Amino acid sequence: MFNVAINGTAVLTNFDIYATAKANFTAVVEQFTATANSSGQIVIAYTNGTIDQPMINGVEVLGSSTGCASVPAAPTGLTATASSSSVITLSWTAVTPPTNCTINSYSVYRSTTNGFTPGSGNLIASGVTGTTYSNTGLTASTTYYYKVEALDADGTSAASTQASATTQAASNTGYVSINAGGPAVSNSGGGDNSFVADEYFSAGGTTYSVTNTITIPASIVTTAAPLAVYQSARQGVVTYTIPGLNAGVSYIVRLHFAELYFTAAGNREFNVAINGTPVLTNFDIYATAGASYTAVVEQYTAAANSSGNILIAFSDGAVNQPMFNGIEVLDATPCSTVPSAPTGLTATASAPSVIGLTWTAVAPPPNCTITSYSVYGGPTANPTTLIASGLTGTTYSNTGLTASTTYYYVVKAVDAGRHIGSLGASQHYHANL
């Protein structure tokens, strides 16, 4: 016979398992409702009663009888902001959970089609626990549309109102500029290019930042980054892998440094290698700049490897650890010519609601690469409505069409300089029931 108390309140006194069950080896279940204490706990205490000691087999604390039974409301206040040619940041208002519910996470959807319907095919992030999201690796001068849904234990909300933003135009001489250890930085106040927030780095290292004024020597003004880039840094053994380049093609690799901690030479010496080739050995920022809080720019030419990557590795040298502020991979011979119009465009109705398009690949101009194709379509001739962009192949399937309707199409090519070619051949076909 023993006693049980829940949060100090007796619920069983001199409880006799055998007497309750009328036999041994027989299960007994006792159930109570209790409120968690001020520390968010339920304390279940077993104490001796009139004879022998307590024996228990299982303990369960379950959700209340009025658990979460409502999906959340749709998120509100969704905004999209382009902070560079390849990054759009989203923010929205936290959803108030229904009674007895908790908002577990948010899902983010993206499309290049206005008024799109969220689905598994355009889900770009799930399990987001905050109310912000940074969408990276985007195409310059492209409009992206976003919607967000909230999830609780009962299900998924309706989608938020759509928000959109257009990525900034890419510099004809730039591919990517990264603010190592810091956020996106605009060059509106000076600097060679705008910089995106830190990306493409391996695990490891730490970040460091200061508010000190940075000196930009006159000798590097034309290649210097925006001032704020030199006020933040990444430290430690880290490798940056810059993807999406053309294998075997040469690029300019521009590295930005400023000593933000030591006030004398000889305190920090580290190494830098590009695609496995050393370019800086026991590099001392202070000794090179002649002072702390002073910008240094080191520039090299390197070819992308067979995977279309450039790897920039920072490693320990004679003393202390690496510190670096910015990384740029720039076009050595920029693309400056508009591509020709696609040819051989054909459209074939393959079902009552589907038309398939094919066209001939465009030969890129000198120093250029055809990065993608854009498709325009609609029920009127010479359509101007964009229905697909970023296509890397020479085919496209337009679905969800109305039967027995004539549709017109135009295809344009986009090259590495973000130049859009003139109109491709227009075709018109109709889908038959």
Domain ranges, residue 147: 76-166
Q: How far is CA 151 from the centre of its chain?
A: 20
Place of tokens 């009328």: 22
Tokens standing for residue 423:
């109109």
CATH of the domain at 151: 2.60.40.10
- Cα gap 97→68, rounded to integer Å: 9
pTM of this structure:
0.45
Q: What is the pLDDT of residue 311?
A: 96
Read off the pLDDT band of 373 (50, 70, 90): confident
> Residue 252 CB: number of other CB atoms within 10 A?
18
Q: Is 251 in contact with 210 (CB distance < 8 Å)?
A: no
Cα–Cα distance list, 63 to 36, 67, 152 (Å): 11, 6, 14
3-state DSSP assignment of residue 78: strand
Residue 359 sits in the same domain as residue 304: no
Read off the pLDDT band of 156 (50, 70, 90): very high
Q: What is the pLDDT of residue 433?
A: 31
Q: How many domains does the chain have?
A: 4
In a domain, 273, yes or no: yes
Q: pLDDT digit string (tens) for 30-79? A: 999 888 888 889 999 999 999 999 999 999 998 655 678 899 999 999 99
Place of tokens 């034309």: 222
Rg of the chain, C-alpha, whole Å? 31
Q: Which neighbouring-strand residues pair with 370? A: 415
The percentage of the chain sitting over the pLDDT mark of 90, rounded to a whole number, equals 58
Q: pLDDT digit string (tens) for 259-288? A: 999 999 999 999 999 999 999 999 999 999
Q: pLDDT digit string (tens) for 160-200? A: 999 999 886 554 345 789 999 999 998 888 888 889 999 99
In a domain, 67, yes or no: no
Q: Is 193 in contact with 187 (CB distance < 8 Å)?
A: yes
Q: What is the pLDDT of residue 162?
A: 96
In a domain, 357, yes or no: yes
Q: What is the pLDDT of residue 57?
A: 96
Cα–Cα distance list, 258 to 87, 105, 280, 322, 330 (Å): 25, 40, 15, 11, 21
Residue 136 sits in the same domain as residue 230: no
- Cα gap 167→304, rounded to integer Å: 25
Residue 152 sits in the same domain as residue 178: no
Place of tokens 């600097």: 191
Q: What stretches of 40-113 adopt beta strand conformation (E)?
A: 44-48, 76-82, 88-93, 105-111
Does 414 score more than 50 pLDDT? yes
In a domain, 211, yes or no: yes
Q: What stretches of 167-231 adopt beta strand conformation (E)?
A: 174-179, 196-197, 206-209
Residue 229 sits in the same domain as residue 286: yes
Tell me what the mean pLDDT of segment 331-348 comes to: 83
Residue 148 sits in the same domain as residue 99: yes
Tokens standing for residue 252:
């300019």
Residue 151 sits in the same domain as residue 130: yes
CATH of the domain at 179: 2.60.120.430
Cα–Cα distance list, 254 to 233, 257, 274, 297, 368 (Å): 15, 10, 11, 7, 21
Q: How far is CA 369 from the centre of its chain?
A: 25
Instruction: Give the amino acid at 15.
Output: F
Tell me what the mean pLDDT of segment 215-239 comes to: 94
> Which secondary structure element, helix H or strand E, spans residue 230, and what is its range?
none
